[in-house]
Structure 1
Amino acid sequence: MASSDIYADGFDEESTGKLPTNDCPDCPGTLVTEQGETRCDTCGLVVEAARLDRRGKRIHPRDETKRERTGAPLTNARHDRGLSTTIGRGQDAKGNELPNQKRRQLSRLRREHSRATWQSKAERNLGHGCTEIARLVSALGLDRAIREQAATLFRTAQDASLLPGRSIESMAAACVYAACRCAEQTRTLAEITRVARVAESRVRNAYQTLNRELNLPIPPQEPAAFVPKLASAVDAAPETRRAAIALADQATETGLSSGRDPAGFAAACLEVAATEHNGDVTQEALATAADVCPVTVRANRNTLQAQLGTGSA
């Protein structure tokens, strides 16, 4: 029997491209599959090198309409939702040099495209705010979900006319902080302000406005959530960390931590736990990691020792 007959009986290009047998169509060898490639281990014949994608059109489940393979989905992280166009320069898609006449034409197109990018002053402010949010998220090492949520908050604040009288930088920093609070991430206002371009008081004012006007679903911050971060900063022992978390949970249940800075109270819990377990943790290091002064840590420590009877005063 000819090899073409064997190949025709065992391989069908109209189906999934798989052979019903492991026998090579050209020799007595055996077919093996490695890294998506099916070949003969004797003669090296490649039977299946690239599978056809028969899934059809690409569908974005979050969109109301079906979209074909025309790029990435829409995003709120950019002012134009990712629909902007970049006009290249110098070379075409294949890397060939463009003639001078074509370069001059593309230069004129880029100039007109830049002028038409911003349809209004509000859109320009939105672009500036999205860029500032992207810078803050990158500097803080946050994930893309925080950037998306912060950009959505900025859009909502702009639609609610909360920007007049406040700088774009302060509102962008407040949106990042509000997104972290909504996602229950242990980021303090001082951490956000450290990489922002405005003072902490302006960021706090913008955040309070957001929280009051938009009724954000922000849960209260618990001191126990700050303990792992502070313990890693001061290199505390695992038993000290567990004892501090238990102490913070006990203080939360009794209402002892109400009205206190959660990071500073978590630092005090770590200090008390380190004292009980003979840990080498200084009060100054804890205060620095929690972005509070040593007096705050000391006052919370004294309250814990007096109310819960832990350690020695």
Structure 2
Amino acid sequence: MSTTNASAKTVLAAQTSNSDAQRPERAVEHEPSARAACPECEGQVVTEDEQSFCTDCGLVVAAEWVDRSPTLTDLGMIGNAEQSIETVDPLRTDKGLHTKIGRNTDGHGNPLSDEQWETVQRLRKWHKRMQFGRQRKRTKRLNEGLRDVEMIGGNLGLPEHVIRQAARFLRRASEARLPGGRMAWEALAGGAVLLAVRASSVDREKIDVAVARYTKAPHERVCAAGRKIRCKCGVDAPAIRPEAVMAVIEALDDDAMPGARAVRTWLLAHHLLALGDAVPVGPGTPRSTVAGASVYAADRLLSEKHLTQSQVATAASAVVETSQNRIARYSRELVDAYEAEHGTTEPGVGVEHARDTLR
């Protein structure tokens, strides 16, 4: 275990002394913290403009903070106290708290002999077995997913704090048992990066396409994975496609609906999509597909039906490939969710609710 503490966790005080104020200011960039409570007063920690601070005492909290838990010396164990304070890395399955075994050199950088190399190989094999623990197979898949997150973030040139936030999202997906079936680890890694970018101040223009380009999964599955993490894990991140309903309506033929009808359909579909995210309806489905189902369900709830499943599926497929079967299935689920929420299928309730939300 390394004794260097260059990257030890630090808590930055919000107030500085007068002598510090006289020194020339120097721009220092700190990663925002993922902590919800202040380490000093247990107040609420919020993040604004890539900086986290306590709303009660004003303490500025960085991603790397001082671990005040008992050291090895405090516990009466043999060892150096500094060795118990290592950087916690969310990109590693064991959070980085382990000894790193080199491949071709020893701790001083000297090349290994053949006998030493064989010994190191055996140590590395047993080290990996202990590192992954009892759930070895699932932990190995999580490790591969974290490597995918790191690779995607590196190819996109994302800031370190965004990559680490994506790793936290992927861990939450693993704890919620989201991987499995058609929801692969590769897609979840791309979806986690997508959500982390949406939750940050990074330029989001065309980021979903860029993430899919470096993900080992199709674009449709990446969008579906991002929505599933957001809906199932309660991730506080903006929707990946906030204007999904409008995109579907704009893709329809000009003569599909009159102007006034299109506005009411858009408002009701916007409300239905919000319900679909909250229930959720089709969490493992891209949001554009559910948006298409919302448009069709809104047209069914309103009087004088104008749209067909084929028209809506074609319009939604302009963004993500969508089938009529999905439109039919999710539209029924959305209508059921609407009735369960409001106790009626009267469309005016959802239209007024959407107007109040969009004001």
The normalised TM-score by structure 2 is 0.41
Higher relative contact order (CA 8 A, sep 6+): 2
